[in-house]
Each structure stands twice: as structure tokens, then as C-alpha cells.
Structure 1
Amino acid sequence: MTAFTPPALSRRSLIGSATLLAMPMHALAAPARAPRVDPRTAFALIAGGVPASLVIDAGTDSAVRHVATNFALDLGRVSGTRPALIDGGTAELRGPAVIIGVLGDSAIIDGLVAAGKIAAGDIKGEWEAFRQIVVDNPLPGVARALVIVGSDRRGAVFGTYDVSERIGVSPWHWFADVPVQRQRDVLIPAGSRRDQPKVRYRGFFINDEDPCLSGWAKKAFGGVTSAMYVHVFELLLRMKGNYLWPAMWGKAFADDDPKSMVLADAMGVVMGNSHHEPMLRAQEEWHRHKDQGVTGGAWDYTRNGDNLRKFWRGGIERMMAKGRGRQYDSLVTVGMRGDGDEAMAEGTATGLLERIVSDQRKIIADVTGKPPAETPQVWALYKEVQDYYDHGMKVPDDVTLLFSDDNWGQIRRLPDPAVAPRSGGYGVYYHFDYVGGPRNYKWVNTNQIEKIWQQMDLAYQRGARAIWIVNVGDIKPMEYPLGFFLAQAWNPEAMTPAMLADYPRVWASATFGAAEGKAIGEMITAYSQYAARRKPELIDQDSFAIGGITPEGLDGGQFGTMVAEWDALETRMTAVRATLRPDQRDAYYQIIEFPVSAMANLYRLYYSTAWNRALGASNDPRANYFADQVEASFRRDGELTRRYHTINGGKWDGMMAQVHMSYVSWNDPTQQTMPSIMRIGADTPEAERRRQPKFVSSQPADGGVLMIEAPAFSRARDGKGLRWTTIPHLGHDAGAVLALPQGRGASVAGDGICLEYDVVVHKAGPATLTLHLAPTLDTSGHGGSRIGVSLNDGAVQALQLQLEASGGAQDTPGKKRWADAVCDNLVQLSATLGSVGAGRHTIKLWRLDDNIVVQKLVLSTSASPPPVARSVASAVHSAPSG
């Protein structure tokens, strides 16, 4: 018998469980040992392969009806038998039942409250809260029921999908073909459980979706239509998200297929538009329907304000088209950027933008017939728009201010703790995918959940709690980081470092089964770390150093070490694949096998190219061996993509069509091109013998360089409520260290918050200490973030991390440093420590400012510390954004 497992972290959890079936991502981690279920008091959701009946009120909200229908399908997937869905009448109901409804809007549930059968007063009036309650004798003929009651319609939706995930239906059951394992018996323990989100609006932005999602959707659904969006909406809601920015490249959500907008509202999804599409109008609409006399012309408020106001009014009128004074569930973007997702004007036209927002709010008030504050609005402080905020532009207090990252995962600005709270609050727009400088990155997932956690935890601690939205590109292949992002958004406080560390295992167990959960969790962690070191679009034959040609053989150097890591990971991936059921193989290919093999193959391709060119330059026939390897790797890249497009009967044909090799600027090449290679002479027997390479190990260092992983500190000295915490795997190597909780103000060395590293120096000399840090930005706008360093009892030196985020031209040293840092996913700060003798010493790091993430310390008494990867940021110039 399989039992429903409550979350380990809920204070009011359902009581008891027998076996972990599938732990929802929002539960974060399973209990170490689940208590036994008492079948005498538990609710039999499925008994002997027969599921309980489902009950909703006649005339219930459409979102509740949608989720009840999908829950019936889910029970059928688990049990093999689809249950009855009873709409209203309960007179003939017999046996166990699941009752789904909204408090105050369900006659059945309100009757149970009035009769004292359930207590749900603690969710009344709350945002998206739900309570799941096992109830005895709720209705005539029903001995026991599970009641899922929402404070509002989405509360009921999330409470229901929460059960679906717990009984083994992954949110990705359709969008990644994650199979559902059959169960004959599923028990829900007696008791009650309450939950609700901590972040108000949580969702994602489909962007940069050409050629992949667009091409796939055209083949599968005839375009990006409501037939596609029904799956997107379901995915979002199953992950307990509620907010969507729709696809926008040449598309107009409400104009391409008007049924999409209707369906979103019917399912309970809050629709918005991207940072540069105000007033619920897609930018593409401005260039359509020019014969109607409203759209077209200059996207310029000073010259074409009348037409723009008419255009925007149309967006708000469409929002109100639901009828009877009701509006489609929407979050209205206000403000304005330039046409084509560029800056609106040279400089910072604060007065103009304030007038635009004021005029937009007048339109909102006029069309809705209500004060503008009663319609939720957001102002996205993206790219240059943040300059308006920094220069003091004011918008009404009810408008949510949406801060952004730098398009590469570093949040640029967060609320000032000294400023009074806003009724509209604050949010964050984050990126997993991007089109723009220093280079596009769109092909595969390159996002570490550890980095996501660090930045979004910082945002939450600093008060950005109204909106979390992430640019996911084509949705696929972002399954893993997207699930994590929305899990953290549901309850950031529960996503502790311990829960973060256990998340990969929990996620893998829920997706592929507990037997391989640990192994697959470790693989996705390793993959994410390796892929995040440098985006694949930024890799070529010159990205990493090969050791060179020696009399003993070829020294693979840093590049060879990285290729060996990918080779080992691919071997592990293949071994685990052999243990899976056949019905798990498609999901495994999409989420694990393809990204691992494709990235490993890409590294081998460029590594072979590096050796081909190095050997060819000296007329060494061994270059031919590597030429063969380049050609084989290039062929394999195409084979992996073709296989992706044919799995599950070609369901995902087109989804991996992104060009990802041989970039020469920030933008995509027009086609996939193999790196150029050279061949040396004819393949004679002697040449064939000489062309076989022999690899040798790298030479040891000269003893003048000590490398210390940041988590390997000797002592941690905490203070002022701050504690040093290791985040395993964050960054390039073992992990990183930072002071928690985040969001606190500055410290001074006198506070004594420091890490100490005991070291033995073998080679005396002038010492340089170099810190390897994860790239971060000063979210307060004070010019940089500081960390202190000292040696032994020497004076503390303050090192300042000062990066100037930009997706445009490198016209300042700060922008150049930023571009190098995001390309390398690493930034270095160095301090000169004077002459150091051989023997024992103690290095100290001092917490001065927040948002400093230390990965490694390098103490050098040689001429210079070891180099890091070459930066290829020189291709930066002005580019559109996403």
C-alpha cells in the first residue's frame, strides 16, 4: 500500500504516512522516516485500483472545474480507472469522495463549515491559500471524504494539484513525458494541512522562442495557439505558479488566437505582458492592423501620443471584455520602452515617462470605471529603465516595482531597507535564457539552482515579494531550474540551505523514482555546475588552456581536465539509464541524457579542434587524429538533436533546433557550422603510427601557489546574528561560502565576522591573495560591495567588487569587467600582502558587505597566480534584449 506523504516542513501537516510515493517540489524534502498510516482513520483515495469519486458544485468557477477534470485524469493515470466527476448533485453519492471547492463560493463546503464538519476560517480572505482535510461522514452515504477547500479559486486549484503531485503525477507529465507509476492503493492520513504562497505572483516568460518553441508549436498545433497554451497553463498551475508573460517574437497573445486569453482566465492564470509591452498590448500588435488607423507610425509618445493612447486603451478594453463589469485576470505592465525592446530615448527622460504612466493610469480608470489602484499594475525596471528609478522617478505607491537581473543571473537592484514599504511592493525579473550581449545563450540549461537560490533568497530577504518571474526561453530544456524557481517562490523561507542541498535528490526521486533518486540528483547537480562554468555559446577551441606538447606526449591541461569530467559524467548517465524502466527513457533523454551528452560532445569537439590547430601549426601528423575527432563530434551533435526530435513519436520535433556553435558575434550564427580543421600530408603507415596521440599528466606546480576551496576554512567566527554558511556546488568547484541571513547591512572588521584559513607556505616571497568570487552586483547602488582580507594579525584590507552591468557597448572599465565576469562566471579580487616567509600562517576573510560569495582563495608567492579561462567578451556590442 502506498500512502500520501505530507511535507516535512508543514507545521500543520496531515498525520502519518507509510511509504514515500512522490514528494512535491513545494514540500522540498521528505521526512527521514515516515510514520505509519492508520488505515482505520486514513482516507482511501485509491482502494484496490478504484479511485474515490470527485465532487464539485454545480456552477462552480471554471478554474475549479478545470482542475477537477484534470485531477480525475490524474487518478485514472495512477489507478488505471478514471473516477466519476459529480457536478452538483450528491443525493446518489456513495463511498469515498474528494470534494473540491472555494470557501464562500461552494454550497457543499459552506454547508460542511456550518455543520461543524470542517474548520477553514483560517484561510478566509487569504491569497491562494488552501486546506486539505480528511472528514468523517461529511454527506449522506459518504463515510469519509477528502475536502480540498481554497480561499479563492487558485487556492482550490493549488490544493488539488498538490495532491496530484503527491500521488506521483509530475507537473512535467506532459511537457517532459514523465511517466506515472500505477498504484492500487493510496491512503491519505487523517488530519488537516494548510498552505499558501509567500510570493504573490509567481511565473515565467516565454521568450527568445524562435526557432525552437515556435517551430515546434507550428508543427504540433499550427502555431502558438490556445491548443499549445492549454499545456503551458496546466504546467504553470501544477507547479503552483499563477502568472505568465506569453511568447512575443512576432506574436501577439490575444490577437493570434483570442481563445488563448479566454482559456487563461478560465483556468485561473493571471496574464501579463513583458517589460516592454505596456497596457496588455503585444508589441507585434502595433505593427498590425494599420488599416484600422490606430496602430503603426512612430512608437514615440512625444510625436504620436494620440495613437499610442488609443492603442493602449484597446488593451484595457479587451481586458474588460469578459462582460458584466468583470475583467480577465491580468497584471497590467505600465511605462514604455523603445520599439524593438530598446531604450525609449537618449538619456533619462524622467518627466516624459512619469507623464506616460499618469496617462496610462487615466486610461485604466476610465475603461474600468474604478480607481486605477484597483487594477494590479507593474513597472519593470529593466535595463535603462532602472536609471529612471535611480534618478528619482516616482510612480504611484500601488504599482509594483519589478527589479531585474543583468540578464545573466545577477540581480541589479533591490528595495532600499530605509525606504517606507509600498502597497504595490517589489518583485524580480530573472533570466535563464537571454538574447543580447556579451552573447546569446538559448540552447540548453546552464543555470545552477544554488545560484538561483542565493540571488532569489537575497531578493526575498530584501523585501521583493510581490512578483517573481523568470525568462525561460522555450520552456524546454529548463525543466529542472524552472521547477526549483517556482518551488522557492512558493515558500522562500522553507528553502533553507539544507533543503537546497537535498532538493536534487527529492526532485530526481519524484521524477524517476526513489531507487535512482540519489544518483540522478548528483548527476543533475554536476551537470548544472559544469554547464554554468561557461555558457556553451561562449565556448570555442581557445576558451581553455591545453597543457602543450612535451617530449613525453600531449598534456591536456585545464581543457583536458574538463573534458575528462564530462566524459565521466556521461559514463555515469549511461549506467543509470540502463536501470530505468522503458517508459522512463523519453523523460530521461529530455532532462538528463540529451543535455549531458550534448555538452560533453561539445567540449570534445572544441578540445579536439584546439589540438588539431596546435599540432597542425607545427606540421605534426597527430593533427589528423584530432581532425577525425572534430568531424565525429560534429556528426554526433546532429545525431543527438535528430534523436530528440523523434522521441515519443516526434512529439518534440523542432524543440532543439537552436544553433549553438561557432559564434562570431553576440548573435546566433545563421546555421550550425563545424570549426575549421587542418590535415597534415597523406596517411602513410608511418604517418598513421605517428598520428596516434599519447597523453601525459600535467606537471606539478612549483610550490609557490596554494589553492584553498572556500568551504575548507579552519574556523568560522560569526556575529551580529550572521553565520558563515557553505553552499555546496555553488560556483566552479567544491562550493561557496557566504554569511547568512542575507539582506543585512554592512559590517566592520571590529564586528569580528570572519573566516580563518590555516595554511603552510613552502616558498617564501612577496605574497598575493586572490579571491575567486561568484559574480554579484551591488543591489543598493552604492558603488560596489566589499570584503576584507588580512594575513595573521595584519591590517584588514577592504577589496571592492565593482561591476557595472550592461548588455550594450563596453564603454567603461566597469562594463568590461562585468562582461568578463559573466562570460567566465567568475570574478577575481586580489590583495598584496607583502613578503611572507615559509611556515604556518592564517588567512582571514572579513564580512563587510552583503552579497559576496567566495568560492576559492589562491595565495601566491610566485610571479603570478594560475590563469583562469580566457574571456571572449570582446564580441559585446549593442543588442536587443529579453
Structure 2
Amino acid sequence: MYNKLIIKIVFTLFFIIGSSVQAQLITDTKPSTNTFPLASTASFPLIQKGMVPAILTDKNDAEVVTIVANAVAFDFELVSGNKPATIHQRTNEEYLIIAGTIGKSKVIDGLIKSKKIKVSQIQNKWESYTITTVNNPIPGVKQALVIAGSDRRGTAYGLFEISKLAGVSPWVWWADVKPKPKKELYVLAGTMNQREPSVKYRGIFINDEDWGLNPWAAKNMDKDIKDIGPKTYAKVFELLLRLRANLIWPAMHDSTKAFWYYPDNPKVADKYAIVIGSTHCDMMLRSNTFEWQENYVHEYGHKPGEYRYDTNKKEVSKYWEDRVNAAKNYEAMYTVGMRGVRDGNIVGPTTKEGKIALMDTIIQDQRKIFKKYFGAENKALQIFCPYKEVLGLYTGGLKIPDDVTLVWTDDNYGYIRQLSNSKEQKRSGSSGIYYHLSYLGGPHDYTWLSSTSPSLIAYEMTKAYQFGADKFWVVNVGDIKPAEMEIQFFLDMAWDMKKWSPENAGQYAQFWAESTFGTALAPEIATIKKEYYQLAHSGKPEHMGFLHFDDASKKKRLKDYSSLVEKVNTAKKNVPAFLQNAFFELIEYPANCAALMNDKFFYAQMSMEVKTNNKTLALEYSQKSKDALEKIISLTKYYNKEIENGKWDGIITNAPRNLATYGMPEISNPEILSDSLRNPKEYDHRYLRLDPVNAASVAEFISVKAADFKTKNEIPSEKIITVEGLGLGGESVSRYPFTGKSFDKNNFDKAPYVEYEVNLKTGNYQLSLKSLPNKAINKERNLNLAVVINNQKPQFLDTDNSREDKNWSASIVRGYFEKQLAFATEKEGIVKIRIYILDTGLALSRIDINKQ
């Protein structure tokens, strides 16, 4: 039993931590040299008989080290029942946890000097740390567990790693994931070195917080200011450190005063070692919605002129410079360029040439401000975000200084617009990504539940990383809750790109469920999460008010969601009491509410379809639709009022922006509705049709999963991969790595291909290829396929979904881009369909064949 356990621990910890010199092992059974061949009597008692050694830090170290040490002490109190002391002076304890930053901690520097710890692999590195057991580290101490960081965040991450390995989730506070109690926990002797993260700056953007985070913070956290303030941000920043992030784009919506309005906000960020940034539309760390439109008079004593640089340069420039002056002693990152207030277009010249010339002047002047306060133009961290209309200016010829980081964006729905070309990849400022897990805007918001799958995130972000986006990743998380798993996956990838890729991202749900709910529950919970993501891929819960499914698709979807809810209810019975709240927040609420949104709309539609022929059935369907909405309201109320005695009161609303989609749709029996369920808003009935062909009613309709190819042909240094959890049907095939070469009409037959065999009768057919609705990687590439049927002449298809028109809208909400072609068969029998994948970044999900 014990030999099997030690092997399991070795592999688990290598999987969690990454590269190490020796395996850093933790076990809840006291090791002995007789039982554990890899252990020794020097195993460190992290918890022994419920007691935890004191945590020693240097008072002159960065403040974040003490803050995190105290947080870890609280963590161990949850695990062991006893809170360890956090001290700055050594006591006479036999065992000690020592944490500090190289060059900032006398104890750590002393251990280095005496050669009791080796730090050559992490010294002078970015956010790195070592964890090691040391015998007789200092006089009077028998043994210590030493965490040494290369910098202040490295030390913080190392401390939280100990908590994590003891069973404390990063979501211990934010999702009430309480750890399993332990009375014994030991660290086997050894050393682990955590090297630099894959992406240098990694963080979140709190956005559209009006309907959740802001009212919750005002009611429960920053009660004195009734806003998102320093108490809320302290909890956010602790979460970021637990997730090994280092950057914040603060909340900036109308409901929230600017981050810098409250002097303690940047102070708290500095205490937690968090880099402060600002969004793609709020340049130079300003928050224009509040600071220019509302608070300018308070700050400057007079009303501002127009927020435009060509006619109001003096006022705008001073506005920016004052913020740089206020922020110069903080670790901050400045967005350069200019856009309009409230995410609008830049105000000024009407021509593209004029806008480019003005933007060039703006950036040059902003760089002069940096030179004044930092000594050189390139000494301040700077990003330029070619988002929305700014992308057109950049591609139109706008020159960006080489040291400024280019931050590419997705299309707001998870599909990256473009990445660095070969020339841009050589820039010293490198590039980064602004990504969305939540979005307010057209064709429709998705700010309620979070349903972007790890597989899609992995596909897009791996593509970005392979094209040089390694400097900066920020993700729009809305109100943080309920996007917990998706946030963690995004940041886990940013921390270690080698660990998660498109090929294994489908396994993340299992990994996350094990670390959150334990090994026994993990398979059930992983299945729930995978099915939840897959159902949402072809229709997010927030989009159900303007999507239309055919009858067969409705029935299947209702059945699948009913099965999902059954799985949730079954799993819940086995969840221990101390994790019930976490299960509700992370699993039950999103899965059940997604199912209920489908019930609400489908049964409403079905009631209207039968209202003239079957009034009894129409009433039954109407009642089911009404019951679904009432259940959503009830679950939301429970989340806000009952969980942890009202801890989350206000954090979740089932009707963000009070949009019609969250209300009651039209039913055949409206008299059964109470006044509170009557929705005065009208729906957009210009439905986007999904799967308009009812396969059951078509005589000759064949659907083939792209992953079910008969043969495939790869080329040197490349492979064709099947990505689990990606695209229509839950699997897609793609070329990998994404840096592979492109092919064209002249050499298409040299490209990798997949080939399918189907049995067809003679006749005319329509072939429909359904792929992920993404875009060509950059302007040097396309997103093309070549299709050869029975050795006939090839047909070439462009699957690029870059043009944001009606087809783009339909594609992103239904989860696939469709291309069709016609072909004929003259003989009955096997037909071979060979599909050459001419470009990387193209993910093929399904092939449908319909006889004409």
C-alpha cells in the first residue's frame, strides 16, 4: 500500500509543480526509512499531531511576503485546526518554515552564504522560487522547510504552493472550497526549483461589474464607500497570487469609481505586489468614464473640454501626465495611444490618414511624459492594443515603438483576430493577448454564466504563444464569479505552457476536479463540466432568446440537459458537507441554470406550436417554461442569500442589464404568469437557425465527425491532432504545431490531409464542412482547405471568419463556420473524401453530406 502511495505522490507533484531537482513530496502518513524507500528520517513535519511550525519572515522583506505568510497560516488553521505563528524573530521551535526573498531576507541570504541552500537556478530570474528541506538551518532549529524567492512575487508564489500541496484550493475564499482536515502531513526531504513563468505578465480584467461585483462589494466588503474599493481589491489580489498571476485591469464601468480615486487602492496593489494596468480604451492609467466625465471638476476645479487631442491637447496631456506622476513609484503598465470615452472611436480627423497621423503624435507625446518621469521613453512598461477600430489604424500604417508590447485581441467571443507576423515577432516589446470569458455587446452579451471551454482557450492561446505572445495575457472575467475554473485554466496556461496544450486540455476538468473536490468525486464532476461546455458551444445560455433549433435538435438538447442535471444531482449526494457550498457555486448553479434556460425557451416555443391543436399540452408546456424561470430565480436567490450565511449577497443576478432574454418568453397561456414574470421587453425574433436540416426526416443524410477519419497523412515536424472538447460535436482535427507552413493551389497535394470513406448511391450531393469559427493567424496566412472527392478535381474553400458580418454573428453563437460544395457520384459504393488542411489554425469538426 505504501509503495503504491509514494509512487502516486511522486507523479502527482511532478505534474503539479513542473521541473524539479528532486521530487518535493508531501504525504499524510509519517514516513520511515523502512516503509518509504525514497524518504528519510529528515522528512519535515508540516503538520504533526495537528500542530504546524511557525512561519519565519524578515520584517524588511517586501510586505507581500508577510501578507502571504499570514494567509498561509490561516490556510493551515483550516487544514489542521491550529494556526501557526507568523514571526520575524526566531523562536526556540525545533521545526520552522522559513520564507524570504533573495537579497531581502537576512535568514535566506545567510543560508545561501553557508551553502545550506542553492539558488543558482532561480537567482536573478523572474518570479521563481525554490522549496527545500534543510537540517540545522540556524542555531537551535533542527530542521526547516525553506521557501526562497528570486523576487517578492516568487516568494509569495512559493508560500502559496505549500498551501496548495497541503490541499488548500486557490478558491478557498472566493468559492468556499474548504480543505479536507488533516492531523499529519510531512514533506519528504528534497529540493524543488520553480523556474520562470511562460508569460511574463498575467492577469484579469474586472468588467461589466454593475450587476454583480459592484453591488456585492458595496453591501459586503467596502461598506464605507459603497463601491469596489481596497477591501475588495485585497481579496482579489490574494486570489491573483494564489493563481500565480501578477496583473490587474481594475473595474471601470459606470457603476464604479476609478481605481485611483481611492488612494488606498494602488497602495493595496503594491502591498500585494500586483502590477496595475488599464484597459484598451483607458490610456495612461486613466479611467475616462469616471475621471473625465464625472470627476474632472472635483480633480481640477473646472469642467473639461472635449476628450480629443487635436483641439484639446494641453488639457488631455496634463490629465495623462498627472496620473503618470501619481503612479511613478508603483509597479504599473501604461496603455498608449487613444480611443474615445466609453470604448468609442477616437475623436478628431475623419480620414484614416488623419487619424493615423494624430495617433502617431499622441504616442510620441506620451513617450515624452515617460522620459520626464522615468528617465527614458522605454523605462515605463507600455502596451498598445489594436482593438476594434484601432486595428484598422495599425494595419493602415501606424508605427508603434519597438519596445511597446502589441496586445492582440479576440473577437470578444474567444476567437483571436490576428497575431504577430514574422516581422512583428522580432520586436523587443514582444506581444500579448486580451481575451474574453465574458462580454457585453453584439450580437448578444454573455455576462451571466461562464461557458468557454478549456479546449477552446487552449487552442487559441497556444496559437498565440507559438506566434510570440509571451509578454502579456489578460482575460476579461466579468464579475469573477462564476468563471472560476475558466480563469484558473487561463492562468495555469500562462504559468506553464508546457503543461497544458490543445492535445490535453480536455483533461483539465479532471485535474481541476481532483484538486478542488478530491479524487473520488473527480470523474463525475469532470463529466459534468465537459458536457456543460459542449452543450454551451452550440448555444450559450445567454443566447437562447435569439437562436432557433429544429424539432430534432430541441428534443436532443432537452434530453442532454436533463441528463446533465441528473448527473449533478447524483454527484451532489456524494459531496461532503464541507464542500456542498463550493459544489453549488462551481457546478450546480451554472449547470442547472443553463439547463433551465433551454427549458424556458424550448417549452415556450413548443407551447405556441401546439396552442391551436392541443390546449392541454400547450398549457403543460407553458407551465414548464414558467417553472424553469422561477427555478432560475430561486437558485439565484439561494446563491445570494443562503450560501455561507449571505456571504455572496448581490454577487449573482439572473438578469444582467435586465435584458429580455432573461425574462419570460411568449407562451400560449400568459394568464398563468404572475406580474413579476411578465417581461415588457420584446425579443429579437430574427432567429439564427441552427441545424436547419432534421436528419431524421431526410432520406439520405450522413454526418461524419472530423475525428473519425479513415486515414491521415502528416508531414515532417508536424502532426494532425484530435482536440477533445473543441468544436461542434466535441472533437476537432487540426494541424500542430501552429507554426507549420501554409500551402496553396499550386502545392496543395503536399499538405497534410485527412480522408473519409462514405457509402453513397449515385446522384448529386451537397457537402457541408463545419469548422471552428476562427480567423487566419495573420495577414501572411490564410485559412483554407482543399477537398478532393474520388480523385476528382480539387475544390478550394476559404474558412476564414474574419469579416464581422451576419455570417460571423451566426457562426460564433452556433459554434461553427460552414462551407458548402456540390459533387456528384456516378457509381454506387464507397466515396473517398480527402481534405487537405492547407493552413494551421483551422479546426475541422464535422462533415455533413446531403443528397440533393
Fold shared by both chains (TM-score > 0.5): yes
The equivalent of 2:505 in structure 1 is 500
Once residues 587 and 234 of structure 2 are traced to their aligned partners in structure 1, the CA distance between those partners, rounded to angstroms, is 26
The equivalent of 2:689 in structure 1 is none
- CA pair 232-393 structure 1, distance change in 2 beyond 3 A: same
Contact residue 27 and residue 186 of structure 2 kept, 8 A: no
Q: Partner of 2:13: helix, strand, or coil? A: coil
Aligned: 1:214 with 2:224: no
Residue deviations 1:792-830, cap 9 Å, x none? 323332210132354xxxxxxxx2221111121211112
Q: Which moved more, 1:528-537 or 1:466-475?
A: 528-537
The equivalent of 2:647 in structure 1 is 651
How big is the shift at 1:618? Answer: 4.3
The equivalent of 2:14 in structure 1 is 7
Counterpart amino acid of residue 641 in structure 1: T
How big is the shift at 1:620? Answer: 4.4
Counterpart amino acid of residue 303 in structure 1: T
Aligned: 1:99 with 2:98: yes
Give 1:649-688 correspondences, 5 Å limit. Answer: 649-659=645-655, 669=659, 672-679=662-669
- CA pair 39-802 structure 1, distance change in 2 beyond 3 A: same
Counterpart amino acid of residue 48 in structure 1: K
Once residues 631 and 795 of structure 2 are traced to their aligned partners in structure 1, the CA distance between those partners, rounded to angstroms, is 51
Q: Partner of 1:589: helix, strand, or coil? A: helix
- CA pair 418-847 structure 1, distance change in 2 beyond 3 A: farther
The equivalent of 2:147 in structure 1 is 148
Contact residue 130 and residue 191 of structure 2 kept, 8 A: yes
- CA pair 103-17 structure 1, distance change in 2 beyond 3 A: closer
Contact residue 18 and residue 35 of structure 1 kept, 8 A: no
The equivalent of 2:724 in structure 1 is 728
2:842 to 844, 849, 852: 852
How big is the shift at 1:756? Answer: 1.4
- CA pair 838-822 structure 1, distance change in 2 beyond 3 A: same
- CA pair 347-852 structure 1, distance change in 2 beyond 3 A: farther
Counterpart amino acid of residue 722 in structure 1: E
Contact residue 633 and residue 654 of structure 2 kept, 8 A: no
Q: Which moved more, 1:401-410 or 1:280-289?
A: 280-289
- CA pair 543-123 structure 1, distance change in 2 beyond 3 A: same
Counterpart amino acid of residue 208 in structure 1: D
Ranges of 4+ aligned residues in structure 1 off by more than 6 Å: 1-4
2:385 to 375, 380, 384: 380
> How high is the sequence identity, in percent, across the aligned residues?
30
How big is the shift at 1:541? Answer: 7.7
Q: Partner of 2:75: helix, strand, or coil? A: helix
Q: Which moved more, 1:134-143 or 1:194-203?
A: 134-143
- CA pair 583-805 structure 1, distance change in 2 beyond 3 A: farther
The equivalent of 2:51 in structure 1 is 50
- CA pair 578-217 structure 1, distance change in 2 beyond 3 A: same
Aligned: 1:837 with 2:835: no
- CA pair 699-842 structure 1, distance change in 2 beyond 3 A: closer
How big is the shift at 1:105? Answer: 1.9
Aligned: 1:589 with 2:597: no
Q: Partner of 2:457: helix, strand, or coil? A: helix
Q: Partner of 2:136: helix, strand, or coil? A: strand
The equivalent of 1:553 in structure 2 is none
- CA pair 544-36 structure 1, distance change in 2 beyond 3 A: farther
Contact residue 788 and residue 796 of structure 1 kept, 8 A: yes
Q: Partner of 2:278: helix, strand, or coil? A: coil
Aligned: 1:226 with 2:230: yes
Give 1:133-144 correspondences, 5 Å limit. Answer: 133-144=132-143
The equivalent of 2:240 in structure 1 is 236
Contact residue 67 and residue 160 of structure 1 kept, 8 A: yes
- CA pair 746-186 structure 1, distance change in 2 beyond 3 A: same
Aligned: 1:362 with 2:368: yes
Once residues 503 and 661 of structure 2 are traced to their aligned partners in structure 1, the CA distance between those partners, rounded to angstroms, is 44
Once residues 50 and 491 of structure 1 are traced to their aligned partners in structure 2, the CA distance between those partners, rounded to angstroms, is 33
Report the count of equivalent residues.
801
1:332 to 326, 331, 334: 334
How big is the shift at 1:421? Answer: 1.3
Contact residue 409 and residue 432 of structure 1 kept, 8 A: yes
How big is the shift at 1:395? Answer: 1.7
- CA pair 69-707 structure 1, distance change in 2 beyond 3 A: same
How big is the shift at 1:676? Answer: 2.1
How big is the shift at 1:501? Answer: 2.9
2:778 to 770, 777, 780: 780
2:787 to 780, 786, 789: 789
The equivalent of 1:313 in structure 2 is 321
How big is the shift at 1:367? Answer: 2.6
Contact residue 596 and residue 632 of structure 2 kept, 8 A: yes
Aligned: 1:468 with 2:497: no
Contact residue 239 and residue 487 of structure 1 kept, 8 A: yes
The equivalent of 1:769 in structure 2 is 767
Q: Partner of 1:193: helix, strand, or coil? A: strand
How big is the shift at 1:423? Answer: 1.5
How big is the shift at 1:79? Answer: 1.3
The equivalent of 1:172 in structure 2 is 171
How big is the shift at 1:680? Answer: 11
Contact residue 644 and residue 653 of structure 1 kept, 8 A: yes
Counterpart amino acid of residue 596 in structure 1: A
- CA pair 35-478 structure 1, distance change in 2 beyond 3 A: farther
The equivalent of 1:245 in structure 2 is 249
- CA pair 379-514 structure 1, distance change in 2 beyond 3 A: same
Aligned: 1:301 with 2:309: yes
The equivalent of 1:828 in structure 2 is 818
Contact residue 762 and residue 825 of structure 2 kept, 8 A: yes
The equivalent of 2:691 in structure 1 is none
TM-score w.r.t. length of structure 1: 0.87
Once residues 671 and 742 of structure 1 are traced to their aligned partners in structure 2, the CA distance between those partners, rounded to angstroms, is 38
The equivalent of 1:285 in structure 2 is 291
Once residues 492 and 596 of structure 1 are traced to their aligned partners in structure 2, the CA distance between those partners, rounded to angstroms, is 29
- CA pair 706-214 structure 1, distance change in 2 beyond 3 A: same
How big is the shift at 1:293? Answer: 4.2
Once residues 10 and 598 of structure 1 are traced to their aligned partners in structure 2, the CA distance between those partners, rounded to angstroms, is 37
Give 1:420-431 correspondences, 5 Å limit. Answer: 421-431=426-436
TM-score w.r.t. length of structure 2: 0.90
Counterpart amino acid of residue 285 in structure 2: L
Once residues 695 and 810 of structure 2 are traced to their aligned partners in structure 1, the CA distance between those partners, rounded to angstroms, is 28
Once residues 21 and 560 of structure 2 are traced to their aligned partners in structure 1, the CA distance between those partners, rounded to angstroms, is 42
Residue deviations 1:103-150, cap 9 Å, x none? 122211111111111110121211111111122221112222111111
Aligned: 1:114 with 2:109: no
How big is the shift at 1:39? Answer: 4.6
Contact residue 260 and residue 266 of structure 2 kept, 8 A: no
How big is the shift at 1:837? Answer: 2.9
Contact residue 379 and residue 402 of structure 1 kept, 8 A: yes
Q: Partner of 1:202: helix, strand, or coil? A: strand
Once residues 795 and 146 of structure 1 are traced to their aligned partners in structure 2, the CA distance between those partners, rounded to angstroms, is 69
Counterpart amino acid of residue 11 in structure 1: S
The equivalent of 2:200 in structure 1 is 200
Q: Partner of 1:480: helix, strand, or coil? A: helix
Once residues 201 and 818 of structure 2 are traced to their aligned partners in structure 1, the CA distance between those partners, rounded to angstroms, is 36
Counterpart amino acid of residue 535 in structure 1: K
Contact residue 725 and residue 737 of structure 1 kept, 8 A: yes
Compute the RMSD of aligned alpha carbons.
2.3
Aligned: 1:351 with 2:357: yes
Once residues 238 and 431 of structure 2 are traced to their aligned partners in structure 1, the CA distance between those partners, rounded to angstroms, is 26
Residue deviations 1:201-249, cap 9 Å, x none? 0011000111111111111122201111111001111000001100001
Once residues 849 and 607 of structure 2 are traced to their aligned partners in structure 1, the CA distance between those partners, rounded to angstroms, is 35
Unaligned runs of 5+ in 2: 30-34, 673-693
- CA pair 816-804 structure 1, distance change in 2 beyond 3 A: farther
Unaligned runs of 5+ in 1: 22-33, 321-326, 547-556, 661-666, 683-697, 807-814, 864-882
Contact residue 251 and residue 259 of structure 2 kept, 8 A: no
Residue deviations 1:417-436, cap 9 Å, x none? 24451111100000011111
The equivalent of 2:601 in structure 1 is 606
Once residues 504 and 146 of structure 2 are traced to their aligned partners in structure 1, the CA distance between those partners, rounded to angstroms, is 29
